[in-house]
Structure 1
Amino acid sequence: MVAYTTAPGDVEMGLEERTVVMVEKKSSTQRIWTVSGAILIVALCFGGVLLFAWYWSGKPEMMTQSGQTEALIEKDTAEKTDPHYTLKRISSKAKAAIHLEGSYDDESLTAELEWKDGQGQAFAQGGFQLANNQIVIPQSGLYFVYSQASFRVSCNDGEEESAGKRLTPLSHRIWRYSDSIGSRASLMSAVRSACQNTAQEDSYRSGQGWYNAIYLGAVFQLNKGDKLWTETNQPSQLETDEGKTFFGVFAL
Protein backbone atom coordinates (compact mmCIF):
# COMPACT_ATOMS: atom_id res chain seq x y z
CA MET A 1 0.00 0.00 0.00
CA VAL A 2 1.30 3.49 -0.84
CA ALA A 3 0.63 6.52 1.40
CA TYR A 4 1.06 10.11 0.43
CA THR A 5 1.82 13.21 2.58
CA THR A 6 1.80 16.86 1.76
CA ALA A 7 4.75 19.09 2.53
CA PRO A 8 3.96 22.63 3.74
CA GLY A 9 3.98 25.05 0.91
CA ASP A 10 5.83 28.35 0.64
CA VAL A 11 3.72 30.89 2.53
CA GLU A 12 4.85 33.60 0.22
CA MET A 13 3.55 31.71 -2.80
CA GLY A 14 0.10 31.55 -1.37
CA LEU A 15 -2.33 28.73 -0.93
CA GLU A 16 -3.01 28.31 -4.63
CA GLU A 17 0.65 27.96 -5.56
CA ARG A 18 1.64 25.34 -2.93
CA THR A 19 3.91 22.57 -4.16
CA VAL A 20 2.77 19.06 -3.32
CA VAL A 21 5.53 16.42 -2.91
CA MET A 22 4.45 12.74 -3.21
CA VAL A 23 6.40 10.40 -0.85
CA GLU A 24 6.04 6.63 -1.39
CA LYS A 25 6.06 4.40 1.71
CA LYS A 26 6.43 0.63 1.47
CA SER A 27 3.95 -1.54 3.36
CA SER A 28 5.23 -3.78 6.18
CA THR A 29 3.20 -6.70 4.74
CA GLN A 30 5.15 -6.56 1.49
CA ARG A 31 8.45 -6.73 3.36
CA ILE A 32 7.25 -9.81 5.27
CA TRP A 33 6.40 -11.64 2.02
CA THR A 34 9.77 -10.77 0.53
CA VAL A 35 11.66 -12.12 3.53
CA SER A 36 9.51 -15.28 3.62
CA GLY A 37 10.20 -15.95 -0.06
CA ALA A 38 13.93 -15.63 0.46
CA ILE A 39 13.85 -18.04 3.42
CA LEU A 40 11.84 -20.56 1.38
CA ILE A 41 14.34 -20.47 -1.49
CA VAL A 42 17.26 -21.02 0.90
CA ALA A 43 15.43 -23.95 2.57
CA LEU A 44 14.73 -25.60 -0.80
CA CYS A 45 18.35 -25.29 -1.84
CA PHE A 46 19.55 -26.77 1.46
CA GLY A 47 17.08 -29.65 1.18
CA GLY A 48 18.25 -30.38 -2.37
CA VAL A 49 21.85 -30.58 -1.19
CA LEU A 50 20.92 -33.04 1.60
CA LEU A 51 18.88 -35.20 -0.80
CA PHE A 52 21.74 -35.32 -3.30
CA ALA A 53 24.24 -36.33 -0.58
CA TRP A 54 21.92 -39.06 0.75
CA TYR A 55 21.41 -40.54 -2.74
CA TRP A 56 25.11 -40.86 -3.50
CA SER A 57 25.95 -42.24 -0.06
CA GLY A 58 23.38 -45.04 -0.47
CA LYS A 59 24.05 -45.81 -4.15
CA PRO A 60 27.07 -48.15 -3.62
CA GLU A 61 25.06 -50.25 -1.18
CA MET A 62 22.15 -50.42 -3.61
CA MET A 63 24.49 -51.51 -6.41
CA THR A 64 26.00 -54.21 -4.18
CA GLN A 65 22.59 -55.56 -3.22
CA SER A 66 21.56 -55.54 -6.88
CA GLY A 67 24.67 -57.52 -7.85
CA GLN A 68 24.07 -60.06 -5.10
CA THR A 69 20.44 -60.48 -6.20
CA GLU A 70 21.46 -61.09 -9.83
CA ALA A 71 24.04 -63.69 -8.73
CA LEU A 72 21.43 -65.54 -6.64
CA ILE A 73 18.98 -65.51 -9.56
CA GLU A 74 21.60 -66.95 -11.93
CA LYS A 75 22.51 -69.68 -9.42
CA ASP A 76 18.86 -70.59 -8.82
CA THR A 77 18.18 -70.76 -12.58
CA ALA A 78 21.15 -73.07 -13.15
CA GLU A 79 20.01 -75.40 -10.37
CA LYS A 80 16.43 -75.55 -11.62
CA THR A 81 17.57 -76.81 -15.03
CA ASP A 82 18.94 -79.97 -13.37
CA PRO A 83 16.24 -82.73 -13.32
CA HIS A 84 17.89 -84.40 -10.34
CA TYR A 85 17.69 -81.14 -8.36
CA THR A 86 14.01 -80.67 -9.33
CA LEU A 87 13.05 -84.15 -8.12
CA LYS A 88 15.01 -83.63 -4.90
CA ARG A 89 13.25 -80.29 -4.29
CA ILE A 90 9.75 -81.67 -4.92
CA SER A 91 10.25 -84.80 -2.86
CA SER A 92 11.78 -82.89 0.06
CA LYS A 93 8.51 -80.92 0.40
CA ALA A 94 6.38 -84.07 0.47
CA LYS A 95 5.09 -85.45 3.75
CA ALA A 96 6.58 -88.87 2.99
CA ALA A 97 9.51 -89.31 0.61
CA ILE A 98 12.62 -91.37 -0.03
CA HIS A 99 15.50 -90.79 -2.43
CA LEU A 100 18.27 -93.37 -2.87
CA GLU A 101 21.69 -93.31 -4.57
CA GLY A 102 22.90 -96.31 -6.56
CA SER A 103 26.07 -98.25 -5.78
CA TYR A 104 27.74 -101.24 -7.41
CA ASP A 105 30.64 -103.40 -6.24
CA ASP A 106 32.11 -106.05 -8.55
CA GLU A 107 33.41 -107.98 -5.56
CA SER A 108 30.06 -108.15 -3.71
CA LEU A 109 28.28 -111.49 -3.38
CA THR A 110 25.07 -110.24 -4.97
CA ALA A 111 26.77 -108.51 -7.95
CA GLU A 112 23.75 -106.26 -8.40
CA LEU A 113 22.84 -102.60 -8.09
CA GLU A 114 22.52 -101.65 -4.44
CA TRP A 115 20.59 -98.65 -3.09
CA LYS A 116 21.94 -96.45 -0.29
CA ASP A 117 19.95 -94.05 1.90
CA GLY A 118 22.82 -92.56 3.88
CA GLN A 119 25.15 -91.13 1.23
CA GLY A 120 25.21 -88.17 -1.15
CA GLN A 121 21.77 -86.58 -1.50
CA ALA A 122 19.91 -89.69 -0.35
CA PHE A 123 17.35 -89.36 2.45
CA ALA A 124 14.22 -90.98 3.87
CA GLN A 125 11.34 -89.37 5.80
CA GLY A 126 7.68 -89.88 6.62
CA GLY A 127 7.92 -93.57 7.50
CA PHE A 128 9.70 -94.84 4.37
CA GLN A 129 12.15 -97.69 4.92
CA LEU A 130 14.81 -99.41 2.86
CA ALA A 131 14.84 -103.16 3.65
CA ASN A 132 16.62 -105.89 1.67
CA ASN A 133 17.34 -103.37 -1.11
CA GLN A 134 13.59 -102.68 -1.40
CA ILE A 135 11.50 -99.58 -0.63
CA VAL A 136 8.63 -100.29 1.79
CA ILE A 137 5.53 -98.08 1.36
CA PRO A 138 4.41 -96.60 4.74
CA GLN A 139 0.74 -95.81 3.98
CA SER A 140 -1.84 -96.45 1.25
CA GLY A 141 -2.24 -93.62 -1.26
CA LEU A 142 -0.99 -92.02 -4.46
CA TYR A 143 2.79 -91.99 -4.99
CA PHE A 144 5.17 -90.79 -7.67
CA VAL A 145 7.75 -93.50 -8.35
CA TYR A 146 10.93 -92.71 -10.31
CA SER A 147 14.34 -94.14 -11.10
CA GLN A 148 17.28 -93.49 -13.40
CA ALA A 149 20.08 -95.81 -14.48
CA SER A 150 23.08 -94.27 -16.28
CA PHE A 151 25.27 -96.50 -18.43
CA ARG A 152 28.69 -96.20 -20.02
CA VAL A 153 29.41 -99.25 -22.18
CA SER A 154 32.76 -100.11 -23.75
CA CYS A 155 31.89 -101.04 -27.32
CA ASN A 156 35.36 -102.20 -28.37
CA ASP A 157 35.57 -105.98 -28.19
CA GLY A 158 39.27 -106.01 -29.03
CA GLU A 159 38.94 -106.00 -32.81
CA GLU A 160 39.34 -102.61 -34.39
CA GLU A 161 37.23 -103.47 -37.43
CA SER A 162 34.21 -104.44 -35.33
CA ALA A 163 34.53 -101.59 -32.81
CA GLY A 164 31.24 -99.79 -32.36
CA LYS A 165 29.24 -102.40 -34.26
CA ARG A 166 28.41 -104.89 -31.45
CA LEU A 167 24.89 -104.17 -30.11
CA THR A 168 24.42 -104.46 -26.36
CA PRO A 169 20.88 -104.35 -24.92
CA LEU A 170 20.42 -102.40 -21.69
CA SER A 171 17.29 -102.63 -19.55
CA HIS A 172 16.02 -101.07 -16.34
CA ARG A 173 12.80 -102.09 -14.55
CA ILE A 174 10.87 -101.30 -11.36
CA TRP A 175 9.04 -104.17 -9.68
CA ARG A 176 6.22 -104.12 -7.13
CA TYR A 177 5.09 -106.75 -4.67
CA SER A 178 1.74 -106.29 -2.90
CA ASP A 179 -0.07 -108.62 -0.52
CA SER A 180 -3.32 -107.72 -2.29
CA ILE A 181 -1.92 -109.07 -5.55
CA GLY A 182 0.00 -111.97 -4.05
CA SER A 183 2.77 -111.83 -6.65
CA ARG A 184 5.23 -109.38 -8.15
CA ALA A 185 4.22 -107.05 -10.99
CA SER A 186 6.23 -104.79 -13.27
CA LEU A 187 5.47 -101.09 -12.73
CA MET A 188 7.74 -99.62 -15.41
CA SER A 189 10.55 -100.73 -17.72
CA ALA A 190 12.64 -99.50 -20.63
CA VAL A 191 15.27 -100.92 -22.99
CA ARG A 192 18.13 -99.26 -24.86
CA SER A 193 20.50 -100.60 -27.51
CA ALA A 194 24.10 -99.64 -26.88
CA CYS A 195 27.01 -99.57 -29.33
CA GLN A 196 24.93 -98.74 -32.38
CA ASN A 197 26.79 -98.00 -35.61
CA THR A 198 26.11 -94.25 -35.69
CA ALA A 199 28.02 -91.04 -36.17
CA GLN A 200 29.53 -91.64 -32.71
CA GLU A 201 31.75 -94.44 -34.03
CA ASP A 202 34.85 -92.28 -33.64
CA SER A 203 34.21 -91.99 -29.91
CA TYR A 204 33.95 -95.78 -29.65
CA ARG A 205 37.35 -96.25 -31.24
CA SER A 206 38.89 -93.59 -29.02
CA GLY A 207 37.88 -95.61 -25.97
CA GLN A 208 35.23 -93.20 -24.64
CA GLY A 209 32.48 -95.81 -24.94
CA TRP A 210 28.75 -95.40 -25.35
CA TYR A 211 26.77 -93.35 -22.82
CA ASN A 212 23.03 -93.16 -22.18
CA ALA A 213 20.54 -93.06 -19.32
CA ILE A 214 17.21 -94.81 -18.79
CA TYR A 215 14.69 -92.76 -16.83
CA LEU A 216 11.40 -94.10 -15.46
CA GLY A 217 8.69 -92.10 -13.65
CA ALA A 218 4.91 -92.29 -13.14
CA VAL A 219 2.11 -92.04 -10.54
CA PHE A 220 0.70 -95.19 -8.89
CA GLN A 221 -1.88 -96.13 -6.27
CA LEU A 222 0.10 -98.13 -3.71
CA ASN A 223 -0.90 -99.94 -0.53
CA LYS A 224 0.68 -99.94 2.89
CA GLY A 225 3.43 -102.54 3.05
CA ASP A 226 4.00 -102.72 -0.71
CA LYS A 227 7.62 -103.32 -1.70
CA LEU A 228 9.37 -101.73 -4.68
CA TRP A 229 12.75 -102.68 -6.15
CA THR A 230 14.69 -102.39 -9.39
CA GLU A 231 16.30 -104.82 -11.83
CA THR A 232 19.12 -103.87 -14.22
CA ASN A 233 20.61 -106.32 -16.71
CA GLN A 234 24.08 -104.73 -16.96
CA PRO A 235 24.98 -103.52 -13.45
CA SER A 236 28.72 -103.62 -14.18
CA GLN A 237 28.20 -101.00 -16.92
CA LEU A 238 26.43 -98.56 -14.60
CA GLU A 239 27.77 -95.15 -13.65
CA THR A 240 27.14 -94.65 -9.95
CA ASP A 241 28.65 -91.20 -9.46
CA GLU A 242 26.44 -88.92 -7.35
CA GLY A 243 23.27 -87.90 -9.17
CA LYS A 244 23.58 -90.32 -12.15
CA THR A 245 21.80 -93.45 -10.85
CA PHE A 246 18.97 -93.05 -8.35
CA PHE A 247 15.66 -94.48 -7.12
CA GLY A 248 12.89 -92.75 -5.19
CA VAL A 249 9.23 -92.41 -4.19
CA PHE A 250 7.21 -89.55 -2.69
CA ALA A 251 3.61 -89.19 -1.59
CA LEU A 252 1.17 -86.92 -3.45
Structure 2
Amino acid sequence: MQAYKGRAGSSPGAQTGTTAAVFGCHTEDHAKRVQPIPLPTMQQNLNYVYPQIFWVDGCADASTSCPSATPVAPFPPPVPDRRKKPGKKRERRSVDFLVIYLLLLLALTGVGLSMFQIFHLEKELAELRESADAEHIPPALEKLIGQKDSMKKEERKAAHLTGSPSQQNMPLEWEPISGHAYTSGIQYRDRGLIINETGLYFVYSNVLFRGSVCDGQVLTHVVYKRNPTSPGSHVLMEDKGINYCTGQRTWARKSYLGALFSLRKMDSLHVNVSKVALVNFEESKTFFGLFKL
Protein backbone atom coordinates (compact mmCIF):
# COMPACT_ATOMS: atom_id res chain seq x y z
CA MET A 1 0.00 0.00 0.00
CA GLN A 2 1.36 3.40 -1.01
CA ALA A 3 1.13 6.46 1.08
CA TYR A 4 -1.18 9.11 -0.28
CA LYS A 5 -0.23 12.71 -0.38
CA GLY A 6 -3.16 14.97 -0.35
CA ARG A 7 -3.42 18.25 -2.04
CA ALA A 8 -4.70 21.53 -0.88
CA GLY A 9 -7.99 21.02 -2.63
CA SER A 10 -8.45 17.48 -1.58
CA SER A 11 -11.70 16.58 -0.03
CA PRO A 12 -12.01 15.75 3.61
CA GLY A 13 -13.17 12.29 2.67
CA ALA A 14 -9.94 11.55 0.89
CA GLN A 15 -7.96 12.62 3.89
CA THR A 16 -10.04 10.47 6.10
CA GLY A 17 -9.45 7.49 3.86
CA THR A 18 -5.73 8.20 3.83
CA THR A 19 -5.65 8.35 7.59
CA ALA A 20 -7.48 5.10 7.81
CA ALA A 21 -5.06 3.56 5.31
CA VAL A 22 -2.11 4.70 7.38
CA PHE A 23 -3.40 2.97 10.50
CA GLY A 24 -4.40 -0.08 8.45
CA CYS A 25 -8.07 0.05 9.51
CA HIS A 26 -11.22 0.84 7.62
CA THR A 27 -13.20 3.70 9.05
CA GLU A 28 -16.53 2.19 8.17
CA ASP A 29 -15.72 -1.08 9.91
CA HIS A 30 -14.46 0.84 12.86
CA ALA A 31 -17.64 2.86 13.16
CA LYS A 32 -19.80 -0.21 12.89
CA ARG A 33 -17.89 -2.15 15.50
CA VAL A 34 -17.77 0.54 18.20
CA GLN A 35 -20.53 -0.43 20.57
CA PRO A 36 -21.43 1.00 24.02
CA ILE A 37 -21.21 -1.35 26.95
CA PRO A 38 -24.48 -1.49 28.91
CA LEU A 39 -24.32 0.17 32.29
CA PRO A 40 -25.79 -1.10 35.54
CA THR A 41 -29.39 -0.05 36.01
CA MET A 42 -30.27 2.83 38.26
CA GLN A 43 -32.19 0.55 40.60
CA GLN A 44 -28.98 -1.28 41.55
CA ASN A 45 -27.32 1.77 42.92
CA LEU A 46 -28.48 5.34 42.83
CA ASN A 47 -25.38 6.71 44.50
CA TYR A 48 -23.00 6.21 41.55
CA VAL A 49 -23.01 7.24 37.87
CA TYR A 50 -20.70 5.18 35.68
CA PRO A 51 -19.07 6.70 32.56
CA GLN A 52 -19.63 5.06 29.13
CA ILE A 53 -16.74 2.86 27.99
CA PHE A 54 -16.15 1.91 24.34
CA TRP A 55 -13.94 -0.76 22.89
CA VAL A 56 -12.78 -1.63 19.32
CA ASP A 57 -13.58 -5.08 17.97
CA GLY A 58 -10.56 -5.47 15.67
CA CYS A 59 -9.20 -4.21 12.35
CA ALA A 60 -10.28 -4.64 8.71
CA ASP A 61 -6.92 -5.76 7.50
CA ALA A 62 -5.20 -8.49 9.39
CA SER A 63 -1.77 -7.63 7.84
CA THR A 64 -1.58 -4.24 9.53
CA SER A 65 -1.03 -3.94 13.22
CA CYS A 66 -3.82 -2.37 15.25
CA PRO A 67 -3.27 -0.22 18.21
CA SER A 68 -3.63 -2.11 21.43
CA ALA A 69 -7.16 -1.97 22.75
CA THR A 70 -7.72 -0.08 25.98
CA PRO A 71 -8.45 -2.52 28.81
CA VAL A 72 -12.01 -2.32 30.15
CA ALA A 73 -12.24 -1.43 33.81
CA PRO A 74 -14.19 -3.97 35.90
CA PHE A 75 -17.47 -2.87 37.45
CA PRO A 76 -17.32 -1.98 41.13
CA PRO A 77 -19.18 -4.25 43.55
CA PRO A 78 -22.65 -3.10 44.62
CA VAL A 79 -22.69 -0.77 47.60
CA PRO A 80 -24.47 -2.24 50.62
CA ASP A 81 -27.63 -0.55 51.80
CA ARG A 82 -26.65 1.89 54.50
CA ARG A 83 -30.13 1.82 56.04
CA LYS A 84 -29.51 -1.68 57.34
CA LYS A 85 -26.96 -1.38 60.09
CA PRO A 86 -25.94 -4.72 61.58
CA GLY A 87 -24.40 -2.90 64.51
CA LYS A 88 -27.85 -2.02 65.87
CA LYS A 89 -28.87 -5.67 66.00
CA ARG A 90 -25.80 -6.46 68.04
CA GLU A 91 -26.57 -3.58 70.39
CA ARG A 92 -30.16 -4.77 70.85
CA ARG A 93 -28.98 -8.28 71.59
CA SER A 94 -26.55 -6.92 74.14
CA VAL A 95 -29.29 -4.88 75.83
CA ASP A 96 -31.68 -7.85 75.92
CA PHE A 97 -29.00 -10.05 77.42
CA LEU A 98 -28.24 -7.40 80.06
CA VAL A 99 -31.93 -7.10 81.02
CA ILE A 100 -32.32 -10.87 81.33
CA TYR A 101 -29.17 -11.05 83.43
CA LEU A 102 -30.44 -8.32 85.78
CA LEU A 103 -33.81 -10.06 86.18
CA LEU A 104 -32.10 -13.35 87.02
CA LEU A 105 -29.86 -11.57 89.50
CA LEU A 106 -32.89 -9.94 91.16
CA ALA A 107 -34.72 -13.26 91.41
CA LEU A 108 -31.69 -14.95 92.95
CA THR A 109 -31.34 -12.08 95.43
CA GLY A 110 -34.96 -12.48 96.53
CA VAL A 111 -34.53 -16.22 97.00
CA GLY A 112 -31.41 -15.61 99.03
CA LEU A 113 -33.14 -13.09 101.32
CA SER A 114 -36.08 -15.47 101.86
CA MET A 115 -33.73 -18.29 102.80
CA PHE A 116 -31.88 -15.99 105.18
CA GLN A 117 -35.11 -14.97 106.91
CA ILE A 118 -36.23 -18.59 107.23
CA PHE A 119 -32.86 -19.52 108.70
CA HIS A 120 -33.09 -16.60 111.15
CA LEU A 121 -36.60 -17.61 112.26
CA GLU A 122 -35.53 -21.21 112.75
CA LYS A 123 -32.63 -20.01 114.83
CA GLU A 124 -34.88 -17.91 117.04
CA LEU A 125 -37.30 -20.83 117.45
CA ALA A 126 -34.44 -23.08 118.51
CA GLU A 127 -33.33 -20.49 121.07
CA LEU A 128 -36.87 -20.26 122.46
CA ARG A 129 -37.01 -24.04 122.80
CA GLU A 130 -33.68 -24.10 124.59
CA SER A 131 -34.83 -21.32 126.89
CA ALA A 132 -38.05 -23.15 127.66
CA ASP A 133 -36.12 -26.32 128.42
CA ALA A 134 -33.81 -24.39 130.71
CA GLU A 135 -36.79 -22.61 132.36
CA HIS A 136 -35.46 -19.29 131.22
CA ILE A 137 -37.66 -16.71 129.51
CA PRO A 138 -35.98 -14.37 126.98
CA PRO A 139 -36.27 -10.62 127.71
CA ALA A 140 -38.58 -9.97 124.73
CA LEU A 141 -40.92 -12.80 125.71
CA GLU A 142 -40.81 -11.76 129.35
CA LYS A 143 -41.84 -8.23 128.37
CA LEU A 144 -44.74 -9.59 126.33
CA ILE A 145 -45.89 -11.78 129.20
CA GLY A 146 -45.67 -8.80 131.54
CA GLN A 147 -47.91 -6.77 129.26
CA LYS A 148 -50.48 -9.58 129.20
CA ASP A 149 -50.37 -9.82 133.00
CA SER A 150 -50.94 -6.09 133.34
CA MET A 151 -53.91 -6.34 130.98
CA LYS A 152 -55.33 -9.18 133.07
CA LYS A 153 -54.88 -7.13 136.20
CA GLU A 154 -56.86 -4.32 134.61
CA GLU A 155 -60.38 -5.59 135.11
CA ARG A 156 -63.03 -4.87 132.55
CA LYS A 157 -65.62 -2.94 134.51
CA ALA A 158 -68.91 -4.66 133.70
CA ALA A 159 -71.88 -6.35 135.34
CA HIS A 160 -74.81 -8.48 134.28
CA LEU A 161 -77.62 -9.23 136.73
CA THR A 162 -80.55 -11.62 136.28
CA GLY A 163 -84.06 -11.57 137.73
CA SER A 164 -84.74 -12.78 141.27
CA PRO A 165 -88.31 -13.99 141.90
CA SER A 166 -88.08 -13.68 145.71
CA GLN A 167 -88.95 -9.98 145.83
CA GLN A 168 -92.13 -8.06 146.38
CA ASN A 169 -91.24 -4.36 146.54
CA MET A 170 -89.24 -1.71 144.64
CA PRO A 171 -86.58 -1.34 143.35
CA LEU A 172 -86.16 -4.72 141.68
CA GLU A 173 -83.84 -7.20 143.32
CA TRP A 174 -81.28 -9.06 141.17
CA GLU A 175 -79.11 -12.16 141.16
CA PRO A 176 -75.37 -11.13 140.90
CA ILE A 177 -73.63 -14.54 140.98
CA SER A 178 -75.61 -17.57 139.83
CA GLY A 179 -76.24 -18.59 136.23
CA HIS A 180 -75.27 -15.97 133.63
CA ALA A 181 -74.91 -13.24 136.29
CA TYR A 182 -71.49 -11.76 137.13
CA THR A 183 -69.81 -8.54 138.30
CA SER A 184 -66.32 -7.31 137.36
CA GLY A 185 -65.04 -4.04 138.82
CA ILE A 186 -68.63 -3.11 139.66
CA GLN A 187 -70.20 -3.69 143.09
CA TYR A 188 -73.78 -4.88 143.58
CA ARG A 189 -75.25 -3.40 146.75
CA ASP A 190 -78.71 -2.37 148.00
CA ARG A 191 -80.37 -3.74 144.84
CA GLY A 192 -78.26 -1.49 142.64
CA LEU A 193 -74.93 -1.32 140.77
CA ILE A 194 -72.32 0.97 142.35
CA ILE A 195 -69.93 2.88 140.03
CA ASN A 196 -66.37 3.04 141.45
CA GLU A 197 -64.74 4.96 138.56
CA THR A 198 -66.00 7.95 136.59
CA GLY A 199 -66.39 7.40 132.85
CA LEU A 200 -68.68 6.45 129.98
CA TYR A 201 -70.91 3.43 130.55
CA PHE A 202 -73.45 1.62 128.45
CA VAL A 203 -76.46 0.76 130.62
CA TYR A 204 -79.18 -1.72 129.60
CA SER A 205 -82.24 -3.37 131.12
CA ASN A 206 -84.81 -5.84 129.80
CA VAL A 207 -88.10 -6.80 131.51
CA LEU A 208 -90.78 -9.24 130.32
CA PHE A 209 -94.31 -8.59 131.49
CA ARG A 210 -96.85 -11.41 131.27
CA GLY A 211 -100.44 -11.88 132.50
CA SER A 212 -103.51 -14.07 132.10
CA VAL A 213 -106.09 -11.25 132.22
CA CYS A 214 -106.02 -8.04 130.21
CA ASP A 215 -106.95 -5.25 132.64
CA GLY A 216 -105.60 -2.39 130.49
CA GLN A 217 -103.31 -0.87 133.12
CA VAL A 218 -100.19 1.06 132.03
CA LEU A 219 -96.90 -0.86 132.31
CA THR A 220 -93.88 1.20 133.35
CA HIS A 221 -90.18 0.28 133.18
CA VAL A 222 -87.65 2.79 134.56
CA VAL A 223 -83.83 2.90 135.08
CA TYR A 224 -82.65 5.64 137.43
CA LYS A 225 -79.53 6.62 139.38
CA ARG A 226 -78.71 7.96 142.84
CA ASN A 227 -75.65 9.63 144.36
CA PRO A 228 -74.92 10.31 148.03
CA THR A 229 -73.70 13.82 147.20
CA SER A 230 -77.01 14.84 145.62
CA PRO A 231 -80.51 14.20 147.00
CA GLY A 232 -83.24 12.34 145.17
CA SER A 233 -83.04 10.15 142.08
CA HIS A 234 -82.54 10.93 138.37
CA VAL A 235 -84.33 8.96 135.67
CA LEU A 236 -81.96 7.73 132.95
CA MET A 237 -84.40 5.69 130.81
CA GLU A 238 -88.12 4.98 130.88
CA ASP A 239 -90.62 2.93 128.87
CA LYS A 240 -94.44 2.86 129.14
CA GLY A 241 -96.72 0.23 127.61
CA ILE A 242 -100.30 1.06 126.61
CA ASN A 243 -102.85 -1.08 124.77
CA TYR A 244 -100.57 -4.10 124.84
CA CYS A 245 -103.40 -6.67 125.19
CA THR A 246 -106.97 -7.31 123.99
CA GLY A 247 -109.75 -9.47 125.41
CA GLN A 248 -109.33 -11.94 128.23
CA ARG A 249 -106.54 -13.97 126.72
CA THR A 250 -103.05 -14.52 128.11
CA TRP A 251 -100.63 -11.82 126.98
CA ALA A 252 -96.91 -10.91 127.14
CA ARG A 253 -94.93 -7.73 126.45
CA LYS A 254 -91.18 -7.07 126.43
CA SER A 255 -89.65 -3.75 127.45
CA TYR A 256 -85.98 -3.03 126.61
CA LEU A 257 -83.95 0.05 127.55
CA GLY A 258 -80.32 0.78 126.60
CA ALA A 259 -78.19 3.90 126.22
CA LEU A 260 -74.75 5.44 126.89
CA PHE A 261 -74.24 7.61 129.97
CA SER A 262 -71.48 9.54 131.69
CA LEU A 263 -71.49 8.30 135.25
CA ARG A 264 -69.61 9.54 138.30
CA LYS A 265 -67.95 7.65 141.07
CA MET A 266 -70.40 6.49 143.77
CA ASP A 267 -73.41 6.61 141.42
CA SER A 268 -75.82 3.72 142.01
CA LEU A 269 -78.20 2.45 139.31
CA HIS A 270 -81.59 0.81 139.97
CA VAL A 271 -84.63 -0.53 138.09
CA ASN A 272 -88.32 0.03 138.88
CA VAL A 273 -91.50 -1.43 137.31
CA SER A 274 -95.13 -0.52 137.74
CA LYS A 275 -96.24 -3.99 138.96
CA VAL A 276 -93.87 -6.67 140.21
CA ALA A 277 -96.53 -9.44 139.97
CA LEU A 278 -96.53 -9.17 136.14
CA VAL A 279 -92.72 -9.57 135.76
CA ASN A 280 -91.31 -12.88 134.45
CA PHE A 281 -88.03 -13.34 136.35
CA GLU A 282 -86.37 -15.96 134.12
CA GLU A 283 -82.70 -15.04 133.59
CA SER A 284 -83.03 -14.97 129.79
CA LYS A 285 -86.09 -12.68 129.88
CA THR A 286 -85.46 -10.15 132.68
CA PHE A 287 -81.94 -8.80 133.27
CA PHE A 288 -79.98 -5.63 134.04
CA GLY A 289 -76.36 -4.60 133.48
CA LEU A 290 -73.72 -2.18 132.25
CA PHE A 291 -70.10 -2.00 131.01
CA LYS A 292 -67.48 0.74 130.84
CA LEU A 293 -66.19 1.94 127.48
Q: What TM-score, normalized by structure 1, do the two folds share?
A: 0.51
Which residue number in structure 2 is paired with residue 138 of structure 1? 196
Does the 8 A contact of 1:100 with 1:122 survive in 2? yes
Alpha-carbon distance, 1:119 to partner: 1.5
Does the 8 A contact of 2:169 with 2:276 survive in 1? no
Gap change, CA 1:236 and 1:178, over 3 Å in 2: same
Q: Structure 2 residue aligned with 1:172, among 207, 221, 240? A: 221
Q: Structure 2 residue aligned with 1:235, among 254, 265, 276? A: 276
Which residue number in structure 1 is paired with residue 184 of structure 2? 125
Q: Letter of the aligned partner of 2:179 in structure 1?
A: G
Tell me which structure has the larger Cα radius of gyration: 2
Does the 8 A contact of 1:147 with 1:248 survive in 2? yes
Gap change, CA 1:229 and 1:196, over 3 Å in 2: same
Does the 8 A contact of 1:153 with 1:194 survive in 2? no
Which residue number in structure 2 is paired with residue 98 of structure 1? 159
> Counterparts of 1:150 and 1:134 in 2: how far apart (Å)?
19
> Counterparts of 1:224 and 1:96 in 2: how far apart (Å)?
13
Deviations 1:129-164 (A, max 9, x none): 111101100100000010011011122xxxxxxxx5
Q: Letter of the aligned partner of 1:118 in structure 2?
A: I
Report the RMSD for the aligned CA atoms in angstroms.
2.2
Alpha-carbon distance, 1:111 to partner: 7.1
For structure 2, the 5+ residue unaligned runs are: 1-154
For structure 1, the 5+ residue unaligned runs are: 1-93, 156-163
Which residue number in structure 1 is paired with residue 256 of structure 2? 215
Q: Letter of the aligned partner of 1:95 in structure 2?
A: R
Gap change, CA 1:145 and 1:211, over 3 Å in 2: same
Does the 8 A contact of 1:104 with 1:236 survive in 2? no
Gap change, CA 1:192 and 1:183, over 3 Å in 2: same
Does the 8 A contact of 2:225 with 2:267 survive in 1? yes
With CA pairs under 8 Å and 6+ residues apart, which has the higher RCO, 1 or 2?
1
Deviations 1:88-122 (A, max 9, x none): xxxxxx810000001123xx564763111112100
3-state DSSP of counterpart to 2:277:
helix
> Counterparts of 1:133 and 1:152 in 2: how far apart (Å)?
23
Q: Letter of the aligned partner of 2:180 in structure 1?
A: Q
> Counterparts of 2:227 and 2:169 in 1: how far apart (Å)?
24
> Counterparts of 1:124 and 1:195 in 2: how far apart (Å)?
34
Alpha-carbon distance, 1:182 to partner: 3.3
Alpha-carbon distance, 1:177 to partner: 0.9
Q: Letter of the aligned partner of 2:173 in structure 1?
A: E
Which residue number in structure 1 is paired with residue 209 of structure 2? 151
Pairing 1:1-252 to 2, within 5 Å after superposition = 95-105=156-166, 110=169, 113-126=172-185, 128-155=186-213, 164=214, 166-193=215-242, 196-197=245-246, 201=247, 204-205=248-249, 209-252=250-293
> Counterparts of 2:164 and 2:243 in 1: how far apart (Å)?
21
